[in-house]
Amino acid sequence: MSHAHPELRTPPALPSGGLRVTALGGLGEIGRNMTVFEHAGKLLIVDCGVLFPEEHQPGIDVILPDFTSIRDRLDDIEAIVLTHGHEDHIGGVPYLLRERRDIPLVGSKLTLAFIDAKLREHRIKPVTHEVREGDDVAFGPFDCEFLAVNHSIPDALAVAVRTDAGLVLHTGDFKMDQFPLDRRITDLRGFARLGEEGVDLFLTDSTNAEVPGFTMSEGELVPAIETVFRTAPRRVIVSSFASHVHRIQQVLDTAHAHGRKVAFVGRSMVRNMGIARDLGYLDVPPGLVVDMKVLEKLPADKVCLVCTGSQGEPMAALSRMANRDHVIRITEGDTVLLASSLIPGNENAIYRVINELTRWGANVVHKGNAKVHVSGHASAGELVYCYNIVRPRNVMPVHGEVRHLKANADLAIRTGVDPERVVLAEDGVVVDLVDGRATITGKVPAGNVYVDGMTVGGATEAHLKDRRNLAQEGVITVVAIVDADSGTLAEPPDFLARGFVHDERTFDAVVPLVEKALAKAAEEGVGGATQLEQLIARAVGSWAHKTYRRSPMIIPIVIDA
Amino acid sequence: MSHAHPELRTPPALPSGGLRVTALGGLGEIGRNMTVFEHAGKLLIVDCGVLFPEEHQPGIDVILPDFTSIRDRLDDIEAIVLTHGHEDHIGGVPYLLRERRDIPLVGSKLTLAFIDAKLREHRIKPVTHEVREGDDVAFGPFDCEFLAVNHSIPDALAVAVRTDAGLVLHTGDFKMDQFPLDRRITDLRGFARLGEEGVDLFLTDSTNAEVPGFTMSEGELVPAIETVFRTAPRRVIVSSFASHVHRIQQVLDTAHAHGRKVAFVGRSMVRNMGIARDLGYLDVPPGLVVDMKVLEKLPADKVCLVCTGSQGEPMAALSRMANRDHVIRITEGDTVLLASSLIPGNENAIYRVINELTRWGANVVHKGNAKVHVSGHASAGELVYCYNIVRPRNVMPVHGEVRHLKANADLAIRTGVDPERVVLAEDGVVVDLVDGRATITGKVPAGNVYVDGMTVGGATEAHLKDRRNLAQEGVITVVAIVDADSGTLAEPPDFLARGFVHDERTFDAVVPLVEKALAKAAEEGVGGATQLEQLIARAVGSWAHKTYRRSPMIIPIVIDA
């Protein structure tokens, strides 16, 4: 397996006729997927998503790929191909378009509708190019063929990119449900045809590469959903991902069969289901979906609500219902169905919501106690099928943390791909396909670009370290008014603490220590506000550690009297 | 089902002959298990554990039960029965013994050895009373019979408490592995005998009540562990819970069979395995366990390390190995086996460790890709067996979040327990068993008591709110030197920000706003440092929100010039 050496540098110029592949995101994390292809002086981008922060990145809204390496080549970009409409594939587009507005966006009808809605919020009117499976379109030197793939959002595409350097197949996110609701299966015949032609580089979704076997079909959720509707004595409240059109379709169909009316709750759910319905991806029986005002007047056992918040997001509808901060009040006998995954890191938040709903008397059906969710990604068994059908010459696992990429690479090797031609790259690692062989040739910047309120890229790791520190330990501001002549305290220092446990007398004990430090400094002729501030910080810091085993952030302020 | 009404108050006096049951922890969370029994003016406590904080409780070390309701009755406590040696059952004991040192601790040999080691760290020499399954001992008016139960630590006990009020059976944590390594199975014959006698109140472990079916046997992990040792080309590094003696036993046996030597790494692992070995709970073949210095000289394929850190704890051995901050350096070809669960909330930390280990070239085998862990708690199927064997008159689910308690209550009802006699209580809810019937009669304080460095109970929800705020938004200290006469700024205010994204010029824009606010105050005759500080905080806060969509904590300091 070809690893990325930790001391990689800027790569040499791409040999003429070669293809350069650089993932700026998605390799080392689940999210902010973005792959840049370079050939004959031009660039093609596949996806441009966001990553959601983890608990050690407090205050961060979303994380973007680092555009540094393409910033001075914006005019060389021929197009951005969007494989599907999930945030981790399209969420970064507004930020890239801020740098050049007229980069063409290429995608399927639903994908473009979703990105268009998002760009409207950013007041950007994009240049779009709609494609569908079977289409073959050239963007500069990149000849792109689109293939249907099945995923947890309709209308997802894989893309095959032909250049003089060879044929590359990028799956996007996919799985191989053989009985999807829309009968639009992953185009394995297409994959096979490309395999016959010869796939020089195969980039495949690694998300579930560690999961043995096969991902269940969406249709296998029917019994559990059916049971919920059959047995619920009062209202049914369903929460799921606002883009999971087929999951919602199953809920609508079941509600309809049981004579319930449905209302959508939550901004993104209302918006996305409107789009999906208008474009024909969601089939709504006449009269099924009604306004909340109509629904409220119906008997509880004729009611179904479909809402946002399945990941425990504190501002979404379901959390607010759980906290009695929503017009919809959970009452004894309500049934809540969380038809969604538990994304790692969100469990505690989700369980808090489930516990609160239970406390109000709801019966909560979720992934932990019923078969109400299947993944959108191919498991190991499906990936092996793909490798055996495509028989690629080179493989580069994409979309995953290191453990997923490694598991996917191992699968490729087990199917017979030459281990020397399996490239285990990470974000920013440059892979050149030259003379039919993919090798790592360098690295470009690919750090986290943090969106923090209105600032993009301003928040650094140092800010996050400060924030984590503040959270763990709190902060003590010390104001010392120092006599400019003597260098000693003009009056006792003032202490202002937040997040640090204290009472009125806590700081009495540290005053003599500060006095002593300043007196010693005055004796030794040490002066200047900065130096005195350091002395104070040290005195207070070591006191806090010795007395309380705590290390609060100390903000010392010395003012000359 | 009998619910706890939200407006419950202090209960009336317990009728003579009745038994009062109050859980001060463990009902509404997984952790800090503690149940107080009161009868004839005396108290018996079953377990006294700690709860580990979640991500919304930053800086907190552990969470204790609230002892308020028993604080003025410490002398009435006859004993603390410890069902087994896990932290969530014994971790609070040192804090309770600080209030009265000579409360007798009752438990099995291994449990007492674990609590004794812990108390030594707190410099407390406890009064102990060792019991074993089959023993029948009276502590004041509480006649206690102990029964063997099987759990993820050896020597766990259930306790049956006989008083004039009736017979209560408390399972502690348990499961019903029919083939445990030590052949010590949960004593269902004993449960049946008590059932024949008539169990008036049954308190059962709810942890896995939502999980359908039966918990797998510890022995079913053999194939996966065996595969690791059979195929590992170089070192095998195993991480698991430091108290899971049987899991470690399996690892030792397999290492031995494959001709590897073993060293223990990490303070708690070394300590606990020493105790377990000395007391005969861990069977170590002669010469198998060696010193690190000896192990280091052996060929890599003769080496096995057993270490702490399976939950991604940043200071534990495995995390430090992953971060190259440990004398043991992970290298290509090492195999790391995480023979442990992924406790909700720890996933991201654990996956970060797995990813780093993978990056260094290790093959990481964990619960997500192999059968290397089974739970220590009875699943729904086992609980149903228990209910049918015991046929209790009243049921009170314990040990779980609300969702688990509710699921357990539902199981009891399905087996035929009268729903009116299934008590869904939470921490602090008082349940009285009088005339053979358990009812909720009131509530006592049962909030979170936070251990925060050296302070116990000092940290409040307000501190935690501040800490979360500081983490999300950062802090800006504003120092304004104000002319005492005019009330206007003597010089431009000084800004010190941490965790808030800014550069040298950021605060230039807010200076005029502060000036304007102060000028207006002076004009209107508003004075006094506190009022001016409020004005400054408001001006800076609204500027930050308007300009950056951020809400940093503002610490304003006004100094009279």
Give the pLDDT score at A27.
Answer: 97
What is each CA distance from A156 to A82, A85, A146, A252, A339, in whole angstroms? 9, 8, 10, 22, 21
Residues in chain B with CB shorter than 8 Å from the CB of A354 are 403
Residue B461 domain flag: no
Residue B116 domain flag: yes
* Edge-first strand listing for the sheet containing B236-239: B261-265, B303-307, B236-239, B335-338, B363-365
What number of helices (H) and strands (E) belong to chain B? 16, 27
Q: Is the CB of residue A449 less than 8 Å from the CB of residue A460?
A: no
The domain boundary, picked from B365, B396, B412, lies at B365
In whole angstroms, give the CA distance from residue B243 to residue A360.
Answer: 37
Q: Which regions of B277-322 does DSSP assign to beta strands (E)?
A: 303-307
In whole angstroms, give the CA distance from residue B5 to residue B8.
Answer: 6
Look up the CATH number of the domain holding residue B540: 3.10.20.580
Q: Which domain holds residue B49?
A: 18-213+375-456
On whether any CB of chain B is under 8 Å from the CB of A401, the answer is yes
Both B154 and B122 in one domain: the answer is yes
Give the pLDDT score at A526.
Answer: 79
Both A424 and A489 in one domain: the answer is no
Both B209 and B222 in one domain: the answer is no
On whether any CB of chain A is under 8 Å from the CB of B354, the answer is yes
Give the pLDDT score at A561.
Answer: 77
When pLDDT is averaged across residues B134-158 and rounded to a whole number, the result is 98
Whether B4 shows a pLDDT value over 90: the answer reads: no
Both A257 and A321 in one domain: the answer is yes
8 Å CB contact of A458 and B403: no
Residues in chain B with CB shorter than 8 Å from the CB of A56 are 348
Give the pLDDT score at A394.
Answer: 98
Give the pLDDT score at A250.
Answer: 97
Residue A464 domain flag: no
| Three-state DSSP string of B92-137 | CHHHHHCCCCCCCEEECHHHHHHHHHHHHHCCCCCCEEECCCCCEE
Look up the CATH number of the domain holding residue B354: 3.40.50.10710
In whole angstroms, give the CA distance from residue A212 to residue A159.
Answer: 26
Residue B465 domain flag: no
- Burial bucket for residue B384 (CB in 10 Å: 0-12, 13-18, 19+): middle
**Partner B, chain A 364-383, Cβ-Cβ below 8 Å:** 364, 368-369
A102 annotated to a ligand binding site: no
Give the pLDDT score at A1.
Answer: 75
The domain boundary, picked from B456, B491, B519, lies at B456
pLDDT tens, residue by residue, B211-225: 999 999 999 999 999
8 Å CB contact of B463 and A477: no
pLDDT band at B487 (very low <50, low <70, confident <90, very high): confident
Residue A461 domain flag: no
Residue in B345, B467, B503 closest to A474 by CB = B467
On whether any CB of chain B is under 8 Å from the CB of A467, the answer is yes
Both B489 and B531 in one domain: the answer is yes
Both B551 and B524 in one domain: the answer is yes
Both B206 and B249 in one domain: the answer is no
| DSSP structure class, residue A233 | S
Nearest-neighbour CA in chain B from A8: distance (Å)? 15
* Edge-first strand listing for the sheet containing A105-107: A128-130, A105-107, A77-81, A42-46, A34-39, A19-25, A429-434, A437-443
Residue A465 domain flag: no
Give the pLDDT score at B561.
Answer: 77
For chain B, give the percent of residues with pLDDT over 90. 92
A256 annotated to a ligand binding site: no
Nearest-neighbour CA in chain B from A345: distance (Å)? 6
8 Å CB contact of B499 and A467: yes
**Number of domains, chain B:** 3
In whole angstroms, give the CA distance from residue B498 to residue B474.
Answer: 6
Which alpha helices (H) appear in A279-424, and where do they start and end?
292-296, 317-322, 347-359, 380-390, 402-414
Both A198 and A291 in one domain: the answer is no
How many CB pairs below 8 Å do chains A and B form together?
172
In whole angstroms, give the CA distance from residue A560 to residue A551.
Answer: 27
Give the CA-trace dihedral at B454, B459, B464, B467, to 10 degrees. -50
Both A190 and A48 in one domain: the answer is yes
What is each CA distance from B532 to A162, A241, A495, B511, in whole angstroms? 68, 48, 18, 15
Residue B6 domain flag: no
Look up the CATH number of the domain holding residue A74: 3.60.15.10
- Burial bucket for residue B286 (CB in 10 Å: 0-12, 13-18, 19+): exposed
In whole angstroms, give the CA distance from residue A213 to residue A207.
Answer: 14
The domain boundary, picked from B306, B339, B365, lies at B365
On whether any CB of chain B is under 8 Å from the CB of A459, the answer is yes
What number of helices (H) and strands (E) belong to chain A? 16, 27
8 Å CB contact of B467 and A470: yes
pLDDT band at B420 (very low <50, low <70, confident <90, very high): very high
Both B255 and B325 in one domain: the answer is yes
Whether B526 shows a pLDDT value over 90: the answer reads: no
8 Å CB contact of B498 and A481: no
Residues of chain A scoring pLDDT < 50: none
- Active centre residues of B (catalytic): 205, 377
Whether B185 shows a pLDDT value over 80: the answer reads: yes
- Active centre residues of A (catalytic): 205, 377
Residues in chain B with CB shorter than 8 Å from the CB of A474 are 59, 463, 466-467, 470
Binding-site residues of B for Ca(2+), in ranges, read 59, 61, 452
What is each CA distance from B233 to A413, B5, B293, B438, B517, in whole angstroms? 18, 60, 21, 60, 71
8 Å CB contact of A210 and B59: no
Which alpha helices (H) appear in A475-557, and where do they start and end?
511-523, 529-548
Residue A50 domain flag: yes
Amino acid at site B454? M
Residue in A364, A463, A473 closest to B403 by CB = A364
Length of chain B in terms of residues written: 561
Residue in A28, A348, A501 closest to B344 by CB = A348
Give the pLDDT score at B523.
Answer: 87
Residues in chain A with CB shorter than 8 Å from the CB of B344 are 347-348, 351
Residue in B28, B347, B455 closest to A548 by CB = B455
**Partner A, chain B 470-499, Cβ-Cβ below 8 Å:** 470-475, 477, 479, 481, 494, 496, 498-499
8 Å CB contact of A368 and B211: yes
8 Å CB contact of B364 and A452: no
Give the pLDDT score at A488.
Answer: 84
B338 CB neighbour count, 10 Å cutoff: 28
**Partner B, chain A 525-554, Cβ-Cβ below 8 Å:** 547-550, 553
Give the pLDDT score at B202.
Answer: 98
Both B187 and B228 in one domain: the answer is no
For A1, the closest chain B residue by CA position comes to B361
Give the pLDDT score at A169.
Answer: 98
pLDDT band at B490 (very low <50, low <70, confident <90, very high): confident
Both B359 and B386 in one domain: the answer is no
